[in-house]
Amino acid sequence: MNIEACLSAVGRDITLRDAQGEVVSSHRAVISPLRYKNKMYLDGVYTDVGFNSEGHYLCICPPACDLTALGDGEYLRCSGTDYRIDRAEKVYFGDEPLYIWAVIRVIVKEDEQ
């Protein structure tokens, strides 16, 4: 099975970036919003101006884009929006990683609150 061919056809360009914003790697991935029904277990954040539900998304990416191994401060960028990874897991086909799924969240910057 080749998930990369599928993601190449239907995915979007993403970059993994280090804490300084430098590109670590580039890939294709599918990013889709988690609807209310799917994110009942996810909490929002209280800020100085009130409750911010923060956008949660499902990200499906190839195994080469290992979101399970990101270092401190590393994040994902797609179409100018930055996301942090809340949870990521590898999905296997036999003994080989087939793809990575992750719950990602829009990074809310201090000056945007």
Could you tell me the residue ranges of all domains in the chain? 3-112
Q: What is the pLDDT of residue 58?
A: 93
d(CA 22, CA 41): 32
Q: What is the pLDDT of residue 111?
A: 53
Task: Tell whether the model's pLDDT for residue 1 goes beyond 90.
Answer: no
CB under 8 Å to 56, separation ≥6 — which residues?
33, 34, 39, 42, 86, 103, 104, 105
Nearest 10 degrees: CA dihedral of 78, 29, 90, 74? -20
Mean pLDDT in the chain?
Answer: 84
Task: Tell whether the model's pLDDT for residue 113 goes beyond 50.
Answer: no
> pLDDT higher for 52 or 100?
100
List, for residues 48-79, the tens digit of each pLDDT value: 444 445 678 999 999 999 999 998 999 999 99
